[in-house]
Amino acid sequence: MGKLIIKNKTEINDLIVIDIIKEVIMMGRISNNDKQFCYLTAVAINHEEYHVVTDLRKCSDVFTFYKCKEYKNENLNQ
Give per-residue pLDDT as tens, 27-76.
999 999 999 999 999 999 998 999 999 999 999 999 999 998 654 555 55
pLDDT tens sequence across 21-39: 999 999 999 999 999 999 9
What whole-number distance in Å separates Cα of residue 19 and Cα of residue 71? 20
| Residue 38 zone, left/alpha/beta (φ > 0; ψ -120 to 50; rest) | beta
In the predicted model, is pLDDT for residue 78 greater than 50?
no
pLDDT of residue 2: 83
Please tell me whether residue 21 adopts helix, strand or coil conformation: helix
- For the chain, what are the domain ranges? 3-70
pTM for the whole structure: 0.84
In the predicted model, is pLDDT for residue 77 greater than 80?
no
